[in-house]
Structure 1
Amino acid sequence: MMNSLVKVILGSIAFAIFWVLAVFPAVPFLPIGRTAGSLLGALLMVVFRILDPVDAYDAIDLEILALLFGTMVVSVYLERADMFQYLGKFLSWKSTGMKDLICRICVVSAVSSALFTNDTSCIVLTEFVLKIAREKNIAPRTLLLALASSANIGSSATPIGNPRNLVIVVESGLFSFGSFMTGMLPAMLVGLVLNALILLVMFWKVLSTLKEDEEDVNSHRLLPATMFHVPSNLNGNGNAGHADTLGLESRAFSDEHEATHLVVHEMSECDGVANTSTNWRKILWKTCVYLVMVGMLVSLLMGLNMSRTATGAALALIVLGFEDARPSLEKVSYSLLIFFCGMFITVEGFERTGIPSSLWDYTKRHVQVTSAKGVAVLALVILVLSNSVSNVPTVLLLGARLADSKASMSLDDLKKAWLILAWVSTVSGNLSLLGSAANLIVCEQARGSPHLAYNLSFWRHLKFGVPSTIVVIAVGLTLIS
């Protein structure tokens, strides 16, 4: 039921402010950014008495925040262990051409996004992609589109691939890590292939006419330092009287040089031993980081609590680092965690207005996952909301509706509905540049890159995003069980 008219209006205003700042974080009249906009929306929900402070605190899902924090810390330590550097090198290793490079970017971006979140993958891999584009002397548009779109598609495969999946797994209570991945993996794999094919077809002529330049590798030969000494009292007049003095000075210099050479040789041996020891410690530490990552993934596949597993893996990496963890913890995106806190409160306040329930009551008779028409209507609703309200609030709003439908739906149909929500809300981020944070990350990174500054405009993205999103979503819906 709709709440009182005053609360409906005030709650809608608070949510509208949150939405505008979330989608357009630098609006001229209030350029405070997404995180501050989220907190402002949450504050207005309390000030307008839509929520009391206790309800506002209760709206924050600590389990999701813990899972986000844990996965971000693990990603930071994997980056320190050169995981993403190895992935970046794989992109150009023995590449046979631009089409091969596009396919590699799609695969690497999707796999890394499924394991380390799409935002993290885009932050790290964008620089590698731009560096390759500079070395090949090509416009990076196709490479950037491959990176961003594949990151969104790949992140749909696992609960830790993006925040939307985290919300769905936690809020539904129906999925383990393995069961969610089993339901989403076929659609992700086929969608990834289709997305790559659409990229190749749309840009085939451009990719075919590009000259495949050899990678510019600068080889530097390291030469040992040469010690040379010029006697200070060397006279240039050539008098024979100075010959004995010069000979004595030369012998003295020779003795001094041999002694110095001996000391340098001993020091270099000590440095070599120290460097070897340091290298072994680094290799051992990297091995431990990768083992912790594998252990975390195995634990998640075994069905252990995801937030506890992720935070446990993060703490294990901090302890294994055996040093001050502050530099690593400072790389965690606390602004994202704060944004989620404000968003949880704002969406809960909007729920209290009764508007989402009224809209759902109007459309739910058309949304039946047992028929193709019902699935299409549900997908269309998710697609429109994800590109207007933004995808995470869409998941929170529609997720609450699905949770209320437990009594009227079978367990299989309910799981299918949650998976459709996960699939469409994730892939719909490819529709436009504003549809996903991963798209914006790639765009902003490319615009200010020291390697090759490039502006991926809204329209350039839209020309590829619309056909790719529609095809990938449609085919993926047929594979979700």
Structure 2
Amino acid sequence: MAVAAVIVFLCAYGLLVTEKIHRTAVALGGAAIMLLLHVTDADHAFFSEETGIEWNVIFLLLGMMLIVSVLRQSGVFEYVAIWAAKRTRGRPYALMVMLCCLTALASALLDNVTTILLIAPVTFLVCERLGLRPVPFLMAEVFASNIGGTATLVGDPPNIIIAARAGLSFNDFLVHLAPIVLVLMVVFCLLCRWLFRADFVHDAERVASVMRLNEREAITDRLLLVKSLAVLVLVMLAFVLHPVLHYEPSVVALLGAGLLLLITDIDVADALREVEWPTLAFFAGLFIMVGGLVETGVIDHVAEATASWTEGRLPLATMVLLFGSAVLSAVVDNIPYVATMSPIVAELAAGHGESGHVLWWALALGADLGGNATAIGASANVVALGIAAREGHPISFWEFTKYGLVVTAVLVTLCAPYLWLRYL
């Protein structure tokens, strides 16, 4: 069954790369074949926390998509777009840096998927106003969201898994990962100047027209804006206070969406039409396929082999974990990978005493940053591609990946001397 799981996954991945078939059809088709071949079954695919669909991710996306759908109708995204364009005086590179920094900060406090859902509408509006191609800006924001989410316990789901297994606190992540994330963001912003240099075209006439606009006039429904922002603030607070409240982000998002629909006059059917249903279906299929790899022991075998190669040699184990996690997280979802790898890392870390904690930081950095490498490497990537396609600016697998590979290679490489000098 392990061989069948690998073959199905590789074939599906090949189809995703070629983009000859819609990615949602590929993911659902691959999941169906795994179920047909009994690589997995309904119990494991739909009800297992380890090998099934990550319903927390699905319903987090659904809830936040509904909140964003309602918030959009107040005109606030147009307001922020005009404000950002005026503050940067329409200069494309300065605008990209501003949006990326806002994205990284929000991802550290919330999660990278929620941040992309909020920042993407602003990006399309401001680029339309300034006559800029939105694709480079959206890709840069996705990279920034994955970088910023690395800094905190709540920023990326793998960090929550690592914290639970290693007994780490919110402050532990801030102390050990926030410093390198700040460095990575500076390097990333400089890297953007080179990566997207061809798209930094300045249109003086469009900039002048935007500078004459009054952003306050963009707000079309102030009462709706107040209600939407109040609910969004409550949702954000609940995300940050997760260690205290113990409500899963998915539950918080659904409660927020339900409350917002109840207290406003927005038509529910209109709000539901804004939901990225193909993206949610893609995630469901992808989770089932990756779950098949986990259930048949493929990922577990890779993890154990990695541990056996490095046992007893802390520096080697740290570097293998860092770069190996980055490579694997670019191909499979980093949530099941970290869930599978964490007990092995716990055993390795215990054998090295206090100094073994460096292995947890290597795992977190590799898994979180490795998601930038490909179009399906992280949840935020998939969501962004879905939004871009709906807005008429599709991003191909290769267009995203050719930039993502460069960003990942540079940033993960910078993490190596940080881990070595600080811990080894």
> Could you tell me how far apart the structure 1 residues matched to 2:378 and 2:57 are?
20
Q: Which residue of 1 aligns with 2:308?
A: 365
Matching of residue 9 in structure 1 with residue 38 in structure 2: no
Indicate how the Cα distance of structure 1 residues 305 and 216 shifts in structure 2: closer, same or farther if over 3 A, else same. same
Shift of 1:409: 2.7
Indicate how the Cα distance of structure 1 residues 79 and 417 shifts in structure 2: closer, same or farther if over 3 A, else same. farther
> Could you tell me how far apart the structure 1 residues matched to 2:385 and 2:288 are?
29
Q: Which residue of 1 aligns with 2:340?
A: 400
3-state SS of paired residue (2:340): helix
Q: Please show how residues 97-136 of structure 1 align to structure 2 within 5 Å.
A: 97-115=91-109, 117-122=111-116, 125-136=119-130
Q: Deviations over 1:190-209 (max 9, x none)?
A: 211110011225566975x8
Q: Which residue of 2 aligns with 1:425?
A: 367
Shift of 1:135: 4.1
> Could you tell me how far apart the structure 2 residues matched to 1:206 and 1:322 are?
42
From 10, 25, 50, give the equivalent of 1:33: 25
Indicate how the Cα distance of structure 1 residues 298 and 63 shifts in structure 2: closer, same or farther if over 3 A, else same. farther
> Could you tell me how far apart the structure 1 residues matched to 2:315 and 2:413 are?
11
Q: Which residue of 1 aligns with 2:413?
A: 474
Structure 2 runs not aligned, ≥5 long: 215-219
Q: Which residue of 1 aligns with 2:398?
A: 458
The answer to whether the 8 Å contact 2:86/2:211 transfers is: no
The answer to whether the 8 Å contact 1:65/1:337 transfers is: no
Matching of residue 59 in structure 1 with residue 48 in structure 2: yes
> Could you tell me how far apart the structure 2 residues matched to 1:37 and 1:163 are?
26
Indicate how the Cα distance of structure 1 residues 332 and 112 shifts in structure 2: closer, same or farther if over 3 A, else same. farther
3-state SS of paired residue (1:157): coil
Q: Please show how residues 43-442 of structure 1 align to structure 2 within 5 Å.
A: 43-44=35-36, 47-48=37-38, 50-51=39-40, 53-60=42-49, 65-66=55-56, 69-70=59-60, 72-74=62-64, 76-77=66-67, 80-81=70-71, 84-85=77-78, 87-96=80-89, 97-115=91-109, 117-122=111-116, 125-138=119-132, 142-158=136-152, 161-162=155-156, 164-165=158-159, 172=165, 174-175=167-168, 179-180=172-173, 183-201=176-194, 207=200, 210=202, 212-213=204-205, 214-217=207-210, 281-282=223-224, 284-300=226-242, 302-307=243-248, 310-312=250-252, 314-316=254-256, 318-319=258-259, 321-322=262-263, 326-327=268-269, 328=271, 331=274, 342-367=285-310, 371-387=314-330, 389-390=331-332, 392=333, 394-410=334-350, 416-433=358-375, 435-436=377-378, 438-439=380-381, 442=384
Shifted more, 104-113 versus 434-443: the winner is 434-443
Report the TM-score when normalising by structure 2.
0.73
> Could you tell me how far apart the structure 2 residues matched to 1:111 and 1:420 are?
22
Amino acid in structure 2 at the alignment position of 1:98: P
Post-superposition, which runs of at least 4 consecutive aligned residues in structure 1 deviate over 6 A? Answer: 218-221, 454-457
Shift of 1:311: 1.2
Q: Which residue of 1 aligns with 2:217?
A: none
Indicate how the Cα distance of structure 1 residues 331 and 65 shifts in structure 2: closer, same or farther if over 3 A, else same. farther
The answer to whether the 8 Å contact 1:117/1:161 transfers is: yes
> Could you tell me how far apart the structure 2 residues matched to 1:369 and 1:79 are?
52
Indicate how the Cα distance of structure 1 residues 168 and 219 shifts in structure 2: closer, same or farther if over 3 A, else same. same
> Could you tell me how far apart the structure 2 residues matched to 1:369 and 1:215 are?
63
The answer to whether the 8 Å contact 1:60/1:344 transfers is: no
3-state SS of paired residue (2:407): helix
> Could you tell me how far apart the structure 1 residues matched to 2:250 and 2:192 are?
35
The answer to whether the 8 Å contact 1:107/1:150 transfers is: yes
> Could you tell me how far apart the structure 2 residues matched to 1:280 and 1:467 are?
43
Shift of 1:469: 2.0
> Could you tell me how far apart the structure 2 residues matched to 1:457 and 1:11 are?
23
3-state SS of paired residue (1:196): helix
**CA radius of gyration, larger in:** 1
The answer to whether the 8 Å contact 2:85/2:95 transfers is: yes
The answer to whether the 8 Å contact 1:293/1:313 transfers is: yes
Shift of 1:305: 2.0
Amino acid in structure 1 at the alignment position of 2:369: V
> Could you tell me how far apart the structure 1 residues matched to 2:312 and 2:368 are?
18
The answer to whether the 8 Å contact 1:70/1:311 transfers is: yes
Shift of 1:400: 1.3
> Could you tell me how far apart the structure 1 residues matched to 2:19 and 2:357 are?
38
Amino acid in structure 2 at the alignment position of 1:197: L
Report the TM-score when normalising by structure 1.
0.66
3-state SS of paired residue (2:88): coil
The answer to whether the 8 Å contact 1:59/1:345 transfers is: no
Amino acid in structure 1 at the alignment position of 2:48: A
The answer to whether the 8 Å contact 1:176/1:303 transfers is: no
Amino acid in structure 2 at the alignment position of 1:39: A
Q: CA-atom RMSD, angstroms?
A: 4.4
The answer to whether the 8 Å contact 1:111/1:154 transfers is: yes
